Amino acid sequence: MESNQNRGAVMAKMPTFNDLGGKTRYSRVAVVAAGVVSPLGSGLNETLDSLRANKDCVSPVTRFEIDKCRSKTAGQIPDDRLLDTGQNGNKSRRVHRATRMMMTALEELFQQDGSFKPELTVIGTTSGGMSFGEDYYRALHRHRGLRHSPAWIANYPPQKPVIDAQTAFGISAPCQIIANACASGTNAIGHAFECVRSGRYDRVLTGGYDAISELVFVGFDSLQASTPEKCRPFDCERSGMVLGEGAAVLALENLETARARNARILGEIIGYGISTDNHHLTQPDPSGSGPRRAMEQALQIANRAAEEVDYINAHGTATVFNDAAEGKAITELFNRVPVSSSKSMIGHSLGAAGAIEAVICLLALQAQLLPPNINFRSSDPGLNLNIVANESREAEIDVVLSNSFGFGGTNASILIQKLAA
Amino acid sequence: MNLRIAGMGWVTPLGRGVDAVWARLLRGDEATAQSISDSVSDRIYSAFRVPDEALKDLPPHPRLRRASAISRFAAAAGLDAITQAKSAIGQIEPERTALLFAVSNGGVVYTKRFYQGLVEAGAQSASPLLFPETVFNAPASHLAAILGITGVSYTLVGDGAVGVLAIKMAHDLLENQPLDFCLVVGAEEADWLLCDAYHKWRLLKKQPPIELFADPPRGMILSEGAGAALLSREGAVEIDAIDAGGNFSHRHEANEILRRIVQELAAEHACVIASANGTFVDLAEREAIKREQPKATVYSLKAALGESVGASGIWQMIAGAQALRSKRLPEIAHSNPNAGLNFPTSDEFSYRKAIVLSCGLNQQAAGARLSI
């Protein structure tokens, strides 16, 4: 152990973990398969159709009582669109809806690439099987109905839907479940990207999920972060978010091994940025410095200039503070690049949001389409943004950026590019 | 692999401070259980709680003014780990430091209070002050703000194995990113609701002691607190192997995963810091150790400190490091003498390695090996 007198010298000569001798060679990271279920639909095709149709997927909440809430709507997935857990050898019919969402998304992924065997699984979520916790507490409170409580308790933890879903498809990879609030999905993809990029892993399964729950719905309502109106990201009369739900998964693989086995390649993740701003637990730093650092870092990792970005899928919750901070950062960093928020169509699916939006970015690259920012009426004069207002449109796009920011001051951005055939 | 522990912090029902808690464990002290009740039921449970005096010198910070116990435990452990590391290796640059927060149940006290208000008084009465503290990453956010960490901060959720999984993730992070340090913190707070849940899951005892490796298992007692380890290239104790293990769908499958982990980490002159807690975990670990590392001395903290779930993996890492540094392991007061395992005696040992074996209660298992 070094003496205190030698501290400075030790620090000065200590190399970082990943630049020993400057020999680092990074791997390129391909997305070889993806699966999604969201209010836009089940699967990539339905999702793309809904994007093209500028579909508003927000509807009245029916799953729990919302009489006393300001907000009455959310982006929801009908249960009959989710994979039945009786399939794929999972005998339990008491699993959480979130498990069924994960299974639905995974089924599509493995239909695209059945030979993908991940060494690691990294998934983002915010609330796991929260509604089972609610069922349990309500049963306790009314002193009856507790016979189901062991199943509720067993299926409540956030890792459970992931482990059960991947087990149903014969996957036994260790699971890392990131709960970084609304940035969880993008953080999960970003960490998975880094694991493959570093050469430490060849194949990582990643994504995010969240199912709507009363506690979270009422929580955002109590903060007056959710709106009784339409969700209008970046609009000058925006009044807040609506909640959503869903799941999306991406199969990340070292590009060389993917090409060697002739895997279909949906896109390439080329950059990831993460920052933490310590301004406030629930509000972003109004300067936009946190989002800006995340976006700058993603560009730097990708070795790309801001001018090379063709489209930004913004976090865009439609809250006054988020959109102002994000809009400021985008305005400062980019020159009128087209921007839209998919939350205008499906609401904010929290831990799933970053993963669903990453899939939307892949579809945008594939279809050469700018996804719309619906419900948009008038520009915010404080923001100089090029909003893809109300209707999707065709465009030549090669590089897209996807942002996710969350409670706790966590900011994450990923950069995805189209790969030439 | 060049991954070392540069500093540690420990907040437990036996008090705060790595050396202080270790000294008490070596003396044979066990935490005293407290009764824990709730207005929702007349059922009473026991839990090991962190004493108030353990946090009395926690520096005031605006972020901690309304924060829940889990955030305060984490802040104390994290600050202690940084302080210890600074005295050993010098300046710790926050911008070159990542924060990895391991948790299982999270801020359950405020979550329950928030939802209780919703159930009893309606959604219009739900507290906007409580809701943000219910989010899993609230404690990490507070700690990042206190320490000035502005880069990587992840909250990792899982079962009792999440602490060791966080060590694995920290290693990946340090290899992937231009970082010098990763502060890994595991924390948990106890609440009646958790006790009731584990009771309904048939894993909880109503009263201590926790009897380790009993067959059949007789149950565990929940506890709370935090552990922190600052990982770096410098430090007396090396983490020389990590096995991210895997997942088990049924409890009997835990045996095979644990056996593979012990097989992977097995080494001559290694003791085992087990996660045995009075449940099915004990039997799975017993079989794995007997088969793959039969001569090792086996120790578990949980008879003395209880099951701290999200914090437990980091507590085990601390125990392993302390065992190697002090060349001693505490004796276990309540273990099954017929388990076929070697339990610690009061003698000094010559082990140079410690295997940390971590099996959670909800499908995850992992392991790590420390050396000195």
Q: Is the ipTM of this complex over 0.95?
A: yes
Site from B87, B97, B131, B359 to mutate, A interface, most A CB atoms within 10 angstroms = B131
In the prediction, which pLDDT does B328 show? 95
Using CA atoms, how far residue A283 sits from A125, A320, A331, B367, in Å, is: 20, 10, 19, 38
d(CA B150, CA B94): 7
Question: Sorting pLDDT into bands at 50, 70 and 90, what band is A8?
Answer: very low
Tokens of residue B184, six digits: 């890994």
Highest mean pLDDT among A47-51, A139-143, B250-254 belongs to: A47-51
d(CA A210, CA A207): 11
Q: Do B153 and A410 touch (CB under 8 A)?
A: yes
Which domain does B243 fall in, by range? 4-371
From chain B residues 261-300, the ones with a CB under 8 A of any chain A CB are none
Q: Do A194 and B128 touch (CB under 8 A)?
A: no
Residue type, B267: A
Phi-psi group of A319: left, alpha or beta (phi > 0 → left; psi -120 to 50 → alpha; rest → beta): beta
Chain B: nearest CA to A381, how far in angstroms?
A: 30
Q: Is A348 a catalytic residue?
A: yes
Q: Is the confidence at residue A99, as pLDDT, over 60?
A: yes
Domain count, chain A: 1
Q: Touching check for B187 and chain A: CB below 8 Å?
A: no
Taking contacts as CB-CB distances below 8 angstroms, the residues of chain B near A128 are: 157
Domain count, chain B: 1
Question: Sorting pLDDT into bands at 50, 70 and 90, what band is B338?
Answer: very high
Taking CA–CA distances from B245, the nearest residue in chain A reads A174
Query: How do residues B217-275 score in pLDDT, each as one tens digit?
Result: 999 999 999 999 999 998 999 999 999 999 998 888 899 999 999 999 999 989 999 99
In the prediction, which pLDDT does A93 show? 57
Cβ-based neighbour number of residue A115 at 10 Å: 9
Query: How do residues B116-168 score in pLDDT, each as one tens digit?
Result: 999 999 999 999 999 999 999 999 999 999 999 999 999 999 999 999 999 99
Q: Would you say the pTM of this structure is higher than 0.90?
A: yes
d(CA B325, CA B141): 32
In the prediction, which pLDDT does A86 show? 63
In the prediction, which pLDDT does B191 show? 96
In the prediction, which pLDDT does B333 show? 85
Region B310-322 average pLDDT: 98
- Write the CB contacts of A24 (distance below 8 Å, at least 6 apart in sequence): A18
Region A73-94 average pLDDT: 76
State percent of chain B over pLDDT 70: 100
In the prediction, which pLDDT does B349 show? 86
Which domain does A344 fall in, by range? 29-417
In the prediction, which pLDDT does A95 show? 86
Q: Is the confidence at residue A394, as pLDDT, over 70?
A: yes
| Residue A100, φ and ψ in degrees, nearest 5 | -65, -35
Query: How do residues B14-36 score in pLDDT, each as one tens digit?
Result: 999 999 999 999 999 999 999 99
Helical H runs in chain B? 18-26, 69-89, 108-121, 131-134, 138-147, 162-176, 192-200, 251-265, 280-292, 302-305, 312-326
Q: Is the confidence at residue A4, as pLDDT, over 60?
A: no
In the prediction, which pLDDT does A24 show? 63
Q: Is the confidence at residue A16, as pLDDT, over 60?
A: no
Q: Do B174 and A66 touch (CB under 8 A)?
A: no
Query: Nearest-CA neighbor of B202 among B219, B221, B223?
Result: B219
d(CA B166, CA A124): 15
Q: Is the confidence at residue A20, as pLDDT, over 60?
A: no
Interface A:B, Cβ pairs < 8 A: 243
Q: Do A409 and B144 touch (CB under 8 A)?
A: yes
Query: Measured between CB atoms, which of B124, B137, B364 is closest to A407?
Result: B137
- DSSP string over A35-63: EEEETTEEHHHHHHHHHHTT---EEE--S
Q: Is the confidence at residue A5, as pLDDT, over 90?
A: no
Query: Measured between CB atoms, which of B133, B137, B174 is closest to A180?
Result: B137
Q: Do B104 and A281 touch (CB under 8 A)?
A: no
Tokens of residue A180, six digits: 């970084």
Strand bridging mode A369-370 / A393-394: antiparallel
Q: Do B141 and A281 touch (CB under 8 A)?
A: yes
d(CA A374, CA B38): 47
CATH number at residue B163: 3.40.47.10
Region B211-215 average pLDDT: 96
Catalytic residue among A96, A175, A231, A315: A315
The answer to whether the beta carbons of residues A284 and A206 sit under 8 Å apart is no
Taking CA–CA distances from B135, the nearest residue in chain A reads A181
Rounded to the nearest 10°, the torsion over CA B281, B283, B284, B290 is 130
In the prediction, which pLDDT does A19 show? 46
Q: Compare A359 and A408 and report the one with higher pLDDT.
A: A359
Region B275-279 average pLDDT: 97
Q: Whole-number mean pLDDT of chain A? A: 91
The verdict on residue A11 lying in a domain is no
Catalytic residue among A57, A96, A175, A182: A182
Q: Is A182 a catalytic residue?
A: yes
Q: Is the confidence at residue A186, as pLDDT, over 90?
A: yes
Chain A: nearest CA to B28, how far in angstroms?
A: 30
Q: Do B140 and A408 touch (CB under 8 A)?
A: yes
Question: What is the three-class DSSP state of B307?
Answer: strand
Taking CA–CA distances from B166, the nearest residue in chain A reads A176
Least confident of A149-153, A389-393, B169-173: A149-153
The verdict on residue A409 lying in a domain is yes
From chain B residues 32-71, the ones with a CB under 8 A of any chain A CB are 40-41, 63
The verdict on residue A12 lying in a domain is no
Site from A16, A17, A65 to mutate, B interface, most B CB atoms within 10 angstroms = A17
Taking contacts as CB-CB distances below 8 angstroms, the residues of chain A near B150 are: 275-278, 293
State percent of chain A over pLDDT 70: 92
In the prediction, which pLDDT does A58 show? 98
CATH number at residue A109: 3.40.47.10
Query: How do residues A230-263 score in pLDDT, each as one tens digit?
Result: 999 999 999 999 999 999 999 999 999 999 999 9
Q: Is the confidence at residue A7, as pLDDT, over 70?
A: no
Query: How do residues A323-371 score in pLDDT, each as one tens digit?
Result: 999 999 999 999 999 999 999 999 999 999 999 999 999 999 999 999 9
Taking CA–CA distances from A171, the nearest residue in chain B reads B247
In the prediction, which pLDDT does A283 show? 86
d(CA B226, CA A17): 27
d(CA B325, CA B39): 46
d(CA B1, CA B231): 12
In the prediction, which pLDDT does A421 show? 61
Strand bridging mode A267-276 / B4-12: unpaired
